[in-house]
C-alpha cells in the first residue's frame, strides 16, 4: 500500500470519528434529563415542595423512580412532630410518570421542615430516575438515567417569607394604619370644631 492509500484510510477514520462525536454532541443537546429536587414554596410560607422536572431538550417517556428508602408523604410540622410521618405509597414517585415534555415539571406538596427532617433524618434519600428517550419500544428509544439527592437540612433557617404572605400582610397593615390615622384625624377635627 502506498502513501495515498494510507492517507485515504486515515481520512476515512477521521470522518467516522467526527461523525460519532457530532452525533454524541447532538444527542447530549437533545436528550431529556429528568431530575427530582426539593424547594421551598414561595407562595405558601413554610411549605416545601418536591419537584420532578425535565431540564433537558427532549421528551422523556416511561419515567420510573428508585429510591434508597421510601419518601415521606405529607410530612407536616414546622417543629418536629411527635409521630413519624407516613411513607409515600402512591403518586408520581411511586407509580411513575408516563411522559414529561422538555421544561415540564410536576409539583408535589411534600411537607414542612420539621416533619421532613423527622422522617429523613441526617441521611439524604437518593433517587435514581430511569426513563427513555423516544417511545419506550421505538426504533430510537434509549434508556437513560439520572440521579438526585434529597436532603431538606439545607433549608434549616432559610427564609422564604419575602415572597409569601409576609409582604401582603405588611401592605395590609400599612393600609389599615393609614386608614386608622385618617379616622383619628377626622375625629380630632370634629371634636375641636364643637
Residue-wise pLDDT for 88-129, tens only, equals 999 999 999 999 999 999 999 999 999 999 999 989 999 999
Q: Average pLDDT over the chain, rounded to whole?
A: 83
Contact between 107 and 93 under an 8 Å Cβ cutoff? The reply is: no
Distance CA 194, CA 184 (A): 16
Q: CB–CB of 129/54 below 8 Å?
A: no
Q: Which residue has the higher pLDDT, 18 or 53?
A: 53
Confidence of residue 5 (pLDDT cuts 50, 70, 90): confident
What pLDDT is attached to residue 132?
A: 92
Please state, as a whole number, how many other Cβ atoms lie within 10 Å of the Cβ of residue 35. 17
Map grid coordinates 461523525 to a residue.
19
**Contact yes or no for 100/54 (Cβ under 8 A):** yes
Q: What is the CA radius of gyration of the chain?
A: 28
Q: Are 56 and 102 a contacting pair, CB within 8 Å?
A: yes
Amino acid at each position: 500500500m502506498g502513501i495515498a492509500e494510507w492517507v485515504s484510510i486515515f481520512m476515512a477514520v477521521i470522518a467516522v470519528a467526527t461523525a460519532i462525536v457530532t452525533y454524541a454532541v447532538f444527542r447530549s443537546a437533545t436528550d431529556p434529563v429528568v431530575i427530582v429536587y426539593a424547594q421551598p414554596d414561595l407562595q405558601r410560607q413554610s411549605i416545601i415542595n418536591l419537584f420532578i422536572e425535565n431540564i433537558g431538550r427532549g421528551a422523556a417517556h416511561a419515567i420510573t423512580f428508585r429510591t434508597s428508602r421510601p419518601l415521606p408523604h405529607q410530612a407536616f410540622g414546622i417543629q418536629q412532630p411527635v409521630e413519624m410521618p407516613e411513607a409515600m405509597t402512591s403518586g408520581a414517585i411511586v407509580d411513575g410518570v408516563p411522559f414529561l415534555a422538555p421544561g415540564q415539571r410536576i409539583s408535589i406538596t411534600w411537607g414542612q421542615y420539621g416533619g421532613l427532617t423527622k422522617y429523613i433524618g441526617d441521611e439524604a434519600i437518593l433517587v435514581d430516575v430511569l426513563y427513555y428517550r423516544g417511545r419506550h419500544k421505538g426504533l430510537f428509544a434509549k434508556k437513560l438515567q439520572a440521579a438526585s439527592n434529597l436532603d431538606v437540612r439545607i433549608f434549616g433557617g432559610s427564609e422564604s417569607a419575602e415572597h409569601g404572605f409576609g409582604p401582603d400582610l405588611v401592605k395590609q397593615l400599612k393600609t389599615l394604619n393609614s386608614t386608622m390615622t385618617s379616622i383619628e384625624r377626622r375625629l380630632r377635627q370634629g371634636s375641636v370644631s364643637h
